Chains A and B, each alone.
Chain A
Amino acid sequence: MQKKKPNILEHELVPKHEILSPEEAAELLRKLKVNPAQLPWITIDDPVVKAIGAKPGDIIKIIRKSPTAGEFIAYRYVVVDTLQPRKKEA
């Protein structure tokens, strides 16, 4: 019997998310020659962002399992998305 609340980070569909330190983030942006907003986004109300405690402006490193590349590293920029607020679901 599981007593704990289900931890979504353990779910098979959820890849590993890591918060980059400011130094790592700066290095990444320099390497990719982009500004943060050009990265894909992840919203602050995303369940995974809440679970790992990321803040707006952080860059999250996502280690996905990929059928073509084995492991693929993607990055997402944490944003406060006010354009499409998440609807409360019953």
Chain B
Amino acid sequence: MSKNKIHSIKQIDRILEEKLRGRASALVYNETREKVIEKYKEKGLTVEELEKIIEETINRYEKSLVEPGEAVGTVAAQSIGEPSTQMTLRTFHYAGVREFNVTLGLPRLIEIVDARKKPGTPIMEIPLIDEYKYSEEKAKEVARKIESTTIENVSKEINVDPYEGAVIILDPEMLSDKGVKVEDVISILEKLRLGKVYVDPEDPYTVHIELRPEKVDYTKIEKIRTKIANAKIKGIKGITKVIIQKRGDEYVLVAEGSNLAEVMKVPGVDYRRIYTNNIAEIEAILGIEAARAAIIREIKEVLEDQGLDVDIRHIMILADIMTWTGRIRQVGRMGIAGEKPSVLARATFEMTVQKLVEAATEGAIDPLLGVTENVIIGQQVPLGTGIVEIYMTPYTPKEEEEEDIEAVIEKSR
């Protein structure tokens, strides 16, 4: 073991300088140096070990390089596209949580790439802060604040009748489960301004509303019923269900529905780690960079869930392009493909005739800089070695120089 031990940091620097400098980027060089020195201080190193480390570093570095002119976008498209043909077409799938349906597989991938404003099954993951995350009781307390409870959730029956008014029969079990009192229900109903609200003298769980005469309209009965049923007693709008999950030693809330802005404000919620699968919402509240990170995370999860192994860099380039303009752009006619600068490239994708007619009416010019347009007209494409062009400066030697050359020739004689 002790053969060729390295004695000093200077020696490390000398070896690094000799073997690594110039073969990897400065960033890699500095990081390698830092880590090697750290390990050296910890355990010591032999020259052989250091040389192996350097060799491996160079190896990995060279493997990770992309040559100029490489069609990274096309390769990414194919690398994501091909495995997705193997994905299940089934939308619903149970993802560890029995209570929820989550869109997975191809339908979910399409949702992300199409930049839908709202996912089919919005889900939030809500971690809690230290004081709350180890106790199930406290987690429940927060869950109750978040889960939205409507009149419908706590009642057995809601009947609206033009003669008798509205009758709401409450469910005592649901009331206690959701922690709602009859008084709460009454005060909510009074806010609806439908008429006088009172509890049935014979049954404490039956609430009557005496509809005001101007509200009694046969065509609006169903509307009134919906208004009563959907009246929110408490909680956050959009969140229909919250369950508590144990992950490791902490309790995490998983919510069906999504409302990032409101949930972040709830006390007890760790807003630094809160997550939603609604990417548009992330963009609106946390910004484009967070949306980029979320796109990567979502696509990666979808692919991994199906057992597909796609290099993260392909997904990263996709997310980069989708967020390039500072907004999430869809991958398709309305987004990335529709905003290409070339007329021919746009026409190739979808709606060929319309695009060409549009271009003709506005007298568009195609500078033929991209790949597609050059394929169409049968020119060399600007990719790989095709990206190199020769620039020639026509140059006529000036008279003076000619004389100079003659002078030189003369001298040499």
Contact = CB atoms under 8 A, between A and B. Distances in A.
A60 to B, nearest CB: 9
Contacts of A67: 312
A66 B315 CA distance: 12
A14 B294 CA distance: 10
A2 B267 contact: yes
Contact of B287 (A2, A8, A70, A81): A8
A41 B274 contact: no
B95 interface: no
A68 B287 contact: no
B285 interface: yes
A24 interface: no
A22 interface: no
A13 B129 contact: no
A81 B320 contact: no
B312 A42 contact: no
Contacts of B281: 89
Nearest to B312: A67
Contacts of A49: 287
Contacts of B39: none
B42 interface: no
A15 B327 CA distance: 17
Contacts of A5: 265
Nearest to A17: B289
B289 A14 contact: yes
Given A2-B129, A68-B312, A70-B31, A14 B287 contact: yes
A76 B286 contact: no
Interface string B123-134: 000000101000
Interface string B315-326: 010001001111
Contact of B326 (A6, A43, A89): A43
A33 interface: no
Interface in A2-38: 2, 5-6, 8, 10-15, 17
Given A49-B287, A67-B312, A68-B313, A12 B326 contact: no
Task: Name the residue among B129, B290, B294 with the largest chain A CB count within 10 angstroms.
Answer: B290
Contacts of B293: 13, 15, 64
B284 interface: yes
A57 interface: no
Contacts of A64: 289, 293
B64 interface: yes
Contacts of B274: 11
Contacts of B64: 68
B197 interface: no
Given A1-B267, A6-B271, A12-B272, A81 B327 contact: yes
Contact of A47 (B31, B287, B324): B287
Contacts of B282: 13
Contacts of A43: 288, 326-327
B325 A11 contact: no
B286 A13 contact: yes
A13 B275 contact: yes
A79 B275 contact: no
A67 B293 CA distance: 11
B273 interface: yes
Contact of A40 (B31, B265, B320): B320
11 contacts: A2-B129, A6-B265, A8-B285, A11-B286, A14-B290, A40-B324, A43-B288, A47-B286, A64-B289, A84-B327, A86-B284
Given A8-B285, A8-B286, A46-B287, 5 more contacts: A8-B287, A10-B272, A40-B323, A42-B287, A79-B326
Q: Across the A-B interface, give the 5 residue pairs with the lowest CB-CB distance, nearest first.
A: A48-B287, A13-B290, A41-B326, A43-B326, A6-B271
